[in-house]
């Protein structure tokens, strides 16, 4: 059972509801950056966070929960459940312990959980259907995410797990500088950036929470995620 943090409920959720009223469900993904930016201002003020250190520790969880907020109902409607790596690591019994065993990788005598911010699994069998890695910035450990995708695909037990990448693509700032490497969008008459090439080639899907000029079958806006998940998960 997903537990939303007090900061998410008290700070982010009212801001999200304001944006939903203004822009609606269909367009809301384009404003994730703005929602988190407003959340940051209030969080820092309430927590006397003048140097931003507390927010840096909090922001990843906020993005993760924001993504879950929009996926949870749809995922459970398909008969699956959604959890996080924190919940998996903190569980020592029940279904989440079985999920841990189905996803953990062994390096000699050491078990290591892959980069798995969000995990979708079958609550009846504990079979892991998909992993979602959430990153505010493309350069923020995208290579680590690629490593886990390739590693999972080489092991018989985990090779069928789908792996997705969701990002705010903070490197793109339309108001200030336009495209800035390593943005996942592609400028006219320019080749794609290295992150775009690698993520598009290796991941099962890459979803950007803002407008994009050049989508593809694998790299697209976040509003396409639910339909893609429905198709890919039900085909397994």
* CA dist., res. 180 & res. 195, Å (int): 12
Q: Which tokens is 189 given?
A: 């008459």
pLDDT tens string 38-64: 999 999 999 999 998 999 989 999 999
* pLDDT score for 54: 95
* pLDDT score for 3: 87
* pLDDT score for 20: 96
Q: Which residues, in sequence order, are bridge partners of residue 112?
A: 105
Least Cα distance to 205 among 187, 181, 184 occurs for 184
* pLDDT score for 105: 95
Low-confidence residues of the chain: pLDDT under 50: 176-177, 179
Least Cα distance to 16 among 57, 81, 61, 63 occurs for 63
* CA dist., res. 112 & res. 100, Å (int): 10
């Amino acid at each position: 059972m997903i537990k939303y943090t007090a900061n998410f409920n008290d700070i982010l959720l009212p801001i999200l509801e304001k944006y939903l009223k203004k822009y609606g469900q269909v367009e809301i993904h384009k404003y994730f950056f703005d929602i988190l930016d407003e959340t940051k201002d209030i969080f820092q003020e309430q927590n006397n966070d003048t140097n931003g250190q507390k927010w840096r520790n909090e922001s990843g969880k906020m993005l993760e929960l924001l993504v879950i907020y929009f996926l949870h109902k749809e995922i459970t409607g398909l008969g699956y459940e959604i959890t996080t790596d924190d919940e998996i690591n903190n569980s020592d019994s029940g279904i989440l312990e079985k999920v841990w065993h189905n996803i953990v990788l062994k390096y000699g005598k050491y078990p290591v959980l892959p980069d798995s911010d969000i995990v979708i699994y079958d609550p009846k069998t504990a079979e892991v259907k998909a992993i979602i890695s959430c990153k505010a910035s493309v350069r923020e450990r995208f290579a680590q995410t690629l490593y886990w995708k390739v590693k999972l695909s080489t092991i018989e037990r985990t090779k069928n797990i789908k792996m997705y990448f969701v990002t705010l693509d903070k490197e793109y700032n339309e108001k200030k500088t336009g495209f800035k490497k390593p943005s996942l969008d592609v400028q006219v008459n320019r080749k794609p950036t290295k992150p775009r090439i690698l993520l598009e080639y290796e991941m099962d899907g890459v979803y950007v929470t803002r407008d994009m000029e050049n989508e593809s079958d694998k790299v697209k806006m976040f509003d396409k995620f639910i339909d893609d998940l429905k198709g890919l998960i039900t085909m397994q």
